[in-house]
Each structure stands twice: as structure tokens, then as C-alpha cells.
Amino acid sequence: MQTERHVKLFRNGRNQALRIPREFELPGDQAIIRRQGDQLIIEPIKTRPLLELLATLKPLDEDFPDIEELPIEPVDF
């Protein structure tokens, strides 16, 4: 895989833009861009599986009230 390629900058409305060549495509449809001196760093946003995200949450130290048993059959109102 190439590690460097010359690209052309262009205007898209009021924004400066560039086309990312196929060999540099990022996964997903969102990315983070940041400036580091004269360089622009573009990184894909990594999505985490829901279970992995939930594992990072701290447990609640709160007691919830008991829920009374609901009727099994539907009730007409």
C-alpha cells in the first residue's frame, strides 16, 4: 500500500476539501480531524459494541421500588 500521494485541494462552498484516494479510505462514515503543527490528522471514529460500552458504566447505587405485578390478560379501558 502506498503511504504517500499527491492530492489536489478544492473548494466546496465555504469549506476547503480534498478527495481521499481509494487506498487511503477510512472505515465508517465519520472521522475526527485535528491539527498538529502544520499537519492535519484524520482518524476514523471507532465504534464499540454495545456490551463493551455497557461494561464501562458504573453500577447505580440506588434502590428502585418494587413493581407490582401487572395483570396477565389485557385490560379494556
Summarize pLDDT for 22-48 with one digit per residue, the tens: 999 999 889 999 999 999 999 999 888
DSSP string, the chain: --S-----EEEETTEEEEPPPGGGPPSSS-EEEEEETTEEEEEEPPP--HHHHHHTSPPP--PPPPPPPPPSS----
| CA–CA distances in Å: residue 19 to residues 7, 31, 70 | 7, 14, 58
Q: Which of 1-5, 17-21, 44-48, 61-65 has the lowest mean pLDDT?
A: 1-5
Q: Is the pLDDT of residue 71 over 80?
A: no
In the chain, % of residues over pLDDT 90: 57
List the end-to-end C-alpha distance of the chain, in Å, as a whole number: 67
The residue extents of the domains of the chain are 9-45
Is residue 1 very low, low, confident or very high in pLDDT (cuts 50, 70, 90)? low
Kindly report the pTM of this predicted structure. Answer: 0.55
